[in-house]
Structure 1
């Protein structure tokens, strides 16, 4: 299924009697922007759900099991309702980030929701609906190029070791509870303790301390956003 390229909605010229007429269709006054990642949903199935839910008023850009959507929404509450309705229409393994803007403020809203979704998934958050406020600290710190580069380099040794990255993400998902993270990974408590010590040795920050975990979470976010920027240089 072919989807429309996302763009800021604009008035379009009309034609009457074969002659162009400078009459335009006013855009909707406010819009919801959604970024979606669906774990168990093919792109065609996702597109079918979104077209059925939003109809021709929506603008879609989908690839695989994810993408972005713009749809008219009168206020933030309606934008949130739309996001939750989409999640209910799909399987449980769905992550959605949502934002709302008046038409004249749309600007880089798609860029915003894409970044939020990238950070949410990088931090191994549970499937659900997220807004910028849920990862505001990570996004704000990572938005500084110098800080972002520093953090990305800091976390690189962990990202390069799948077992350490998996362990760190499991600990984040378990809110720092090592026993729960070990159970999720199906490994012995001594194994997770060893891996967490290795993370501290490689980064200089302990994942078992509040400050260390905060730094490592932000570093993961920065690394994910830098990778996104490298693969999608035309964002924004």
Structure 2
């Protein structure tokens, strides 16, 4: 049996399967299946096809087409020319596919390693060919970008492998295109980098986080900034928003840095906020039961825009109890939440107390005294 190469519709380079007809002819003539050396050559051919970006289907179709007999010269050694052909072809195709798939897996691992390295360099501000490497992932760093960070209720593994980064990225790429959004797992967080002009991207990211994460997740969203340094700044703002939410006991699952700008301002002047908390709230330390119930009452009243009934429902106590606690606060501190000016001072002092973790942590002025 002679095999005719001309019958194959060659869709791959001619040299890729150059010895294919000879191997199959030998199998038909001798009845022996291809050996290890021949199969290793097929694996290498499959790997090369993957590296060249050739479709696996085209590779297999070509190998099968080249096996079609053009003529039958007579029976093989075992009396049937086709007896060894199908088993040999099965081994050959299996080796081609194995080589192809191994090369693909290696390429995926290399791409993921390159992505992790790029994301680390980007978010830490390391600038080694950053703009050039960013283009490979579809980012144009001369534009403005916003970063959103998602934290699961239960911390993920050290490498972030448990986070559904690829699944969420695939969903966002389907909607926004492959050159707009980058999703990566880093330090147990899920990070989304998107153009500042693509305002819907962070909302879509949050939507998929809500579906993928167990209750208790939280998302921080930075502000848009330009350039590689802007990505770093937005990333830090997103992380700081989550941290501020924890420290302040905020209930919102999504926290935007733009909505929390007052808190970094307060923290920049530590001495002033320390003095405010000491002056306004330290008298609450004398209250029976400690200051925490009174601080919680103030927080509930401020959150309810002064509605004492709503605050009472939130606290699980009676409206009369809220009124009584507010009167105790007024007597101890001299400040009343009913007075607009005093209310602002009280609210700022309470926020400062949460930022400084007071009264659990003593203030600097208390330590000095």
TM-score, normalised to structure 2's length?
Answer: 0.45
Q: Which structure ranks higher in relative contact order (CA pairs < 8 Å, sequence separation ≥ 6)? A: 1
Report how many residues are paired: 208
Q: Deviations over 1:91-127 (max 9, x none)?
A: 5554432014332323444443344334445555442
Q: Distance in 2 between matches of 1:89 and 1:49?
A: 9
CA contact (8 A) 2:150 2:219 kept: yes
Q: Which 5+ residue runs of structure 2 have no aligned equivalent?
A: 1-115, 171-181, 362-369
1:113 alignment counterpart? 238
Shift in CA distance, 114/25, structure 1 to aligned 2, threshold 3 Å? closer
Partner of residue 186 from structure 2, selected from 35, 60, 63: 60
CA contact (8 A) 2:312 2:318 kept: yes
Partner of residue 206 from structure 2, selected from 71, 83, 89: 83
Q: Distance in 1 between matches of 2:236 and 2:282?
A: 24
4+ aligned runs moved over 6 Å, structure 1: 3-6
Q: Deviations over 1:110-148 (max 9, x none)?
A: 443344334445555442423233233344234322322
Q: Deviations over 1:64-92 (max 9, x none)?
A: xxxx5533212251234423442454355
Shift of 1:206: 1.8
2:311 alignment counterpart? 181
Name the structure where helix makes up a greater proportion of residues.
2
CA contact (8 A) 1:174 1:180 kept: yes
Shift in CA distance, 125/31, structure 1 to aligned 2, threshold 3 Å? closer
SS at match of 2:195: coil
1:133 alignment counterpart? 258
CA contact (8 A) 2:335 2:342 kept: yes
Of stretches 93-102 and 173-182 in structure 1, the one that deviates more from structure 2 is: 93-102
Partner of residue 151 from structure 1, selected from 263, 276, 279: 276
TM-score, normalised to structure 1's length?
Answer: 0.66
